[in-house]
Amino acid sequence: NAGVTQTPKFQVLKTGQSMTLQCAQDMNHNSMYWYRQDPGMGLRLIYYSASEGTTDKGEVPNGYNVSRLNKREFSLRLESAAPSQTSVYFCASRPKLRTNYNQPQHFGDGTRLSIL
């Protein structure tokens, strides 16, 4: 099925370890996003990429880096994981239509990350 694919689905890390969360979309969307979801806080934007070759910080970027590898792929890297980064991470994408820029975002199923 077409959509947003995230890997891995689950991961357990030790404090200080690094890892990269992968995201790919096959809908030819221009914009891609990374969010974290924590209980009682909704979804908070970590980083986004409005188009291939550009990235910008969101609400909670500290401790993360991103790479927009090509139009399809947008990865999120934790260089030195901390327990405060235990969360569920969602990737999303959306088209940019000439008729209306405010199209909804499409979400992946998430990566559940625990840092011990």
Partner 1 sequence: AQSVTQLDSQVPVFEEAPVELRCNYSSSVSVYLFWYVQYPNQGLQLLLKYLSGSTLVKGINGFEAEFNKSQTSFHLRKPSVHISDTAEYFCAAYFGNEKLTFGTGTRLTIIP
The single residue among 33, 34, 64, 74 that binds partner 1, judged by CB under 8 A, is: 33
Q: Does 64 bind partner 1 (CB under 8 A)?
A: no
The single residue among 22, 63, 73, 107 that binds partner 1, judged by CB under 8 A, is: 107
Decide: helix, strand or coil at residue 47.
strand
Q: Does 19 bind partner 1 (CB under 8 A)?
A: no
The least CB distance from residue 15 to partner 1, in Å, is: 25
For residues 77 and 20, the answer to whether their CB atoms sit within 8 Å is: yes
- The two tokens of residue 52 are 């291939």
Closer to partner 1 at the Cβ: 8 or 16?
Answer: 8
Q: What CA–CA distance (Å, rounded) separates 40 from 31?
A: 27
For residues 81 and 101, the answer to whether their CB atoms sit within 8 Å is: no
Q: Does 44 bind partner 1 (CB under 8 A)?
A: yes
Stretch that binds partner 1, among 20-28, 65-73, 76-84, 102-110 (CB under 8 A): 102-110
54 burial level (CB within 10 Å; 0-12, 13-18, 19+)? exposed
Backbone angles phi, psi at 52, to 5 degrees: -55, 130
In the complex, the residues that contact partner 1 under the rule CB under 8 A are: 4, 31, 33, 40-45, 48, 50, 56, 58, 90, 92, 100, 102, 104-110
